[in-house]
Each structure stands twice: as structure tokens, then as C-alpha cells.
């Protein structure tokens, strides 16, 4: 008899927990890691509009900022309370790709910083080869 009560309590607690916190299913973020200019073009191409939900940093222009996260707009509109399905919220990181003495950004020792330094060196060597 006690086992049945404990089992019922455990199932109920699990159901309440899932209702409040979700099931933990991950979903892919199609725009994370892209420049805002590329992500907004892709969003427009899908027939939706991109809206900047938040912006961290001010070193880069909007088009050069990196999208850290995106999500469909979670609000409703109109008298019929229809869900908004044509808006994607984007969250931007507008710090420099690598930190300098005067600008915040990724550490040169981080994977992102190393990748940015390598890309800059590659671009510089291509520019030097093209102008020589």
C-alpha cells in the first residue's frame, strides 16, 4: 500500500516538474554563429522579419554583430489573439572578435579568439599575395 502512494507521489512530482520546466528537448538554432547581415537575409528569405531582441557590446555595426541566439517571437497579436509566426528575435554579440587594449572581445587564447586571429592572418596573407 505504501509503495503505491510513493509511486503515485513520484509520478505526480515528475509531471508537475515537467509542466514547469519543460522536458529538456534541445532544438537547433539555425542562425546562431552567423553575422547579423547573413542571418537577417536568411530570415527574410524565409518570409519572416528579424528583430533585434538584445545587443551586447558596441564595437561592431549591427551587420557585423554575431547572432548568439534566435527564437520565434513568443507573443500574440490582434483581436483573435493569433500567434505571431512571421517574426524571429535575434540576440547579438557586438564585441570585437578579439579583445584589444581598448576594445572588449574574445580572449586571444580562447577557441573563438584563435579562430579570429587565424582568419585575420589568412586574409592578410591573401591581400599581400594579391597586391604583389
Q: Are 74 and 96 in contact (CB under 8 A)?
A: no
Please give the pLDDT value at position 20.
Answer: 53
Please give the pLDDT value at position 129.
Answer: 82
Q: Mean pLDDT over residues 89-110, rounded?
A: 88
DSSP 8-state code for residue 35: B
Please give the pLDDT value at position 68.
Answer: 93
Residue 92, all three cell numbers: 547579438
Q: Are 76 and 83 in contact (CB under 8 A)?
A: yes
**What CA–CA distance (Å, rounded) separates 56 from 52?**
11
**What CA–CA distance (Å, rounded) separates 52 from 40?**
10
pLDDT reading at 102 higher than 80: yes
Residue 34, all three cell numbers: 552567423
Pairing of strands 49-56, 87-93: parallel
Please give the pLDDT value at position 1.
Answer: 60
Among candidate residues 113, 88, 104, the one with its CA nearest the CA of residue 31: 88
Q: What separation in angstroms does the CA of 95 have from each of 15, 107, 110, 114?
A: 42, 11, 15, 15
pLDDT reading at 67 higher than 90: yes
Amino acid at each position: 500500500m505504501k509503495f503505491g502512494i510513493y509511486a503515485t507521489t513520484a509520478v505526480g512530482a515528475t509531471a508537475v516538474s515537467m509542466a514547469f520546466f519543460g522536458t529538456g528537448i534541445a532544438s537547433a538554432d539555425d542562425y546562431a554563429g552567423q553575422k547579423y547581415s547573413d542571418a537577417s537575409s536568411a530570415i527574410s528569405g524565409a518570409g519572416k522579419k528579424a528583430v533585434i531582441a538584445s545587443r551586447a557590446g558596441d564595437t561592431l555595426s549591427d551587420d557585423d554583430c554575431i547572432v548568439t541566439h534566435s527564437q520565434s517571437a513568443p507573443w500574440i497579436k490582434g483581436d483573435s489573439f493569433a500567434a505571431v509566426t512571421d517574426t524571429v528575435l535575434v540576440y547579438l554579440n557586438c564585441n570585437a572578435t578579439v579583445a584589444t587594449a581598448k576594445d572588449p572581445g574574445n580572449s586571444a587564447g580562447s577557441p573563438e579568439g584563435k579562430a579570429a586571429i587565424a582568419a585575420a592572418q589568412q586574409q592578410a596573407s591573401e591581400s599581400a599575395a594579391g597586391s604583389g
